[in-house]
Amino acid sequence: MRTPMVSARLTSVEFFRSLKWIDRRPLVIEPYRQALFTQALDEYLDGRLRYNLILSGRAKKNWKSADLVLAALFALLANDSPGGNQCYLLANDEDQAADDLTLAKKLIEANPLLASRLVVKAKTIERADGKGFLMILPAGDIAGSHGKTARFIGWDEIHGYKTWDILEALQPDPTRLDAQQWITSYASIYHRPGVPLFDLCHQGRAGADPRMLFSWYGADHTTDPAFADADPETRANPSRGTWADAEYLEQQQRRLPAHKFRRLHLNLPGLPEGSAFAPEPIMEAVERGVSVRRPEDGMAYKAFVDMSGGSSDDATLAIGYTDADGRAVLARVENQGPPPPFDPRRAVERFVTILREYQVREVEGDKYAGETFVSDFQERGIRYVPAASTKSELYEAFEPVLNGRRVVLLDCPMLEQQLLGLIWRGGKIDHPNGEHDDWANAVAGVVAMLERRVPELQIWGGPAPAARVSPFDQPVNGLPGTGGWRAWR
């Protein structure tokens, strides 16, 4: 078994021991923070840094940004990199970049040892010997800069990122043994698959990436055994014991909206303001590892379809059944196959084939395009019943079923992402501008059908059921679901 070795180079303990904080008192680093620095910056395996990705999450006011700046200064100065000590620190926005740059400059000003080796410029701190630099910028200023080589790339707060675009532009250089990315953040605003921080935390908890160091302190989870049995507030705030104001958290809880306090100070995942559903019931409803439930003989299935004109939105079919415990169980959710643009009539053909597999003769769907899809399905032997409820009414009806743990969902990232992204807008539940909800709409529709508690649909070949009046036809008064050198001294 290979044992990771601490490098014979200048270590983080030696480097930081020589520094003062911005108040010119000796720099004090708590044990949990120094343990992270030692693992991230000093451990080598097979001649390369053991970790090339560090994800460090804590609640607000727990030294996240300070530690990122300190790690960047270490990467810039402590040891010469064969490829040069190019370091980038990408902040969430202009203000965060200014704060990080100001902190770095104050540290240099407080430490003659740093000042003698560095040249401070407007947005760049350069080594006096020309062997490296630290550039601190808003992340947007470097978007699209593919191909840059760097010893260190730090990301300060990615909680607001919706896509991987910027992170993908600056992945570590695979030709460098000491290339490293360090991401520090509190929990994501957009807690759903496809969002970088969600995906990274999922990978970190799984422990499947041997070159990723996952350090997380949240009210619900921590990677640090020393804090595992602490109360939720302390678990998310490992530096809480050093705060001068012992009542800081209580004060913030009184002053902030619950969803903001939850994310900023408990480091729990959040959602956009006005989110329709709380994340926990959605996550708990998903049966992980199950993406489809094949048809079973004797099972009465129901189906709902959210059709599309084919230009931008998906057309989506959801099929479900009621289990012995009375729960609405999602058996299948499928879109049209090829991405938009597509021929919607081809989507109808695909859906009819799937419906026949589940012996479903009737499908309910929205009133999109008038009678167009009614005829298309009818020609292929499937009765299409336009839904009497609006999609917002379907979502409102879906919430108590979800919160009551009466629904079992499939492990479908697109569905999960859309459900978590729904918001209240103008008194109705809808998707945010620029996003979609076709998968979520189809599933909410089939769950509404299963919750009606009327006689089951007839199987294929039986008589078409009569039109029925649904209690879901009336609006439901739902409420919205309630972040380089040895001679150092």
Question: Domain residue spans in the chain?
Answer: 5-270, 281-473
The per-residue pLDDT string of the chain (489 residues; one tens digit each, 9 = 90 and over) reads 455 544 468 999 999 999 999 999 999 999 999 999 999 999 999 999 999 999 999 999 999 999 999 999 999 999 999 999 999 999 988 888 999 999 999 999 999 999 999 999 988 999 999 999 999 988 876 654 555 789 999 999 888 888 888 888 778 888 999 999 999 998 887 777 888 998 999 999 999 999 999 999 998 889 999 999 999 899 999 999 999 999 999 999 888 766 678 889 999 876 666 788 887 788 889 998 899 999 999 999 999 999 988 788 889 999 999 999 999 999 999 999 988 889 988 999 999 999 999 999 999 998 765 577 888 999 999 999 999 899 999 999 999 999 999 999 998 888 987 898 888 888 899 988 878 899 999 999 999 999 985 433 333 333 444 433 333 333 333 323 323 333 444
- Contact 40/13 with Cβ under 8 angstroms? no
Q: Which helix (H) or strand (E) holds 351?
A: helix 344-357
| Residue 243: alpha-carbon gap to chain centroid | 29
pLDDT of residue 465: 40
96 secondary structure, DSSP code? H
pLDDT of residue 142: 62
Q: How far apart are CA 227 and CA 225, in angstroms?
A: 5
* Structure tokens belonging to residue 406: 């009466």
Q: How far apart are CA 420 and CA 444, in angstroms?
A: 13
* Structure tokens belonging to residue 324: 């012995």
pLDDT of residue 478: 31
What is the crossing angle of helices 94-110 and 64-77, to 10°?
60
**3-class DSSP state of 393:** helix
- Contact 249/237 with Cβ under 8 angstroms? yes
* Structure tokens belonging to residue 160: 């607001």
Q: Which of 319, 336, 313, 293 is nearest to 457 (CA)?
A: 319
Q: How far apart are CA 180 and CA 70, in angstroms?
A: 14
Dihedral sign from CA coordinates of 132, 137, 141, 147: positive
> How many residues appear in the chain?
489
With 0.85 as the threshold, say if the pTM is over it. Answer: no
A 10 A CB-CB count for 205 gives: 12
pLDDT of residue 355: 97
Q: How far apart are CA 263 and CA 252, in angstroms?
A: 12
Q: How far apart are CA 483 and CA 217, in angstroms?
A: 12
pLDDT of residue 482: 29
- Assess if CATH 3.40.50.300 describes domain 5-270: yes
Q: Where do the DSSP E strands lie in 58-107? A: 85-91
pLDDT of residue 194: 85
pLDDT of residue 92: 84
- Cis (ω within 30 of 0) for the bond into 413? no
pLDDT of residue 413: 80
Which residue shows structure tokens 């000003």? 109
Q: How far apart are CA 234 and CA 246, in angstroms?
A: 12
Dihedral sign from CA coordinates of 92, 173, 192, 309: positive
Q: How far apart are CA 46 and CA 48, in angstroms?
A: 6
Q: How far apart are CA 451 and CA 194, in angstroms?
A: 30
Q: How far apart are CA 272 and CA 302, in angstroms?
A: 32
pLDDT of residue 225: 96
Q: How far apart are CA 60 and CA 79, in angstroms?
A: 31
CATH code of the region 281-473:
3.30.420.240
Q: Which of 297, 319, 304, 300 is nearest to 409 (CA)?
A: 319
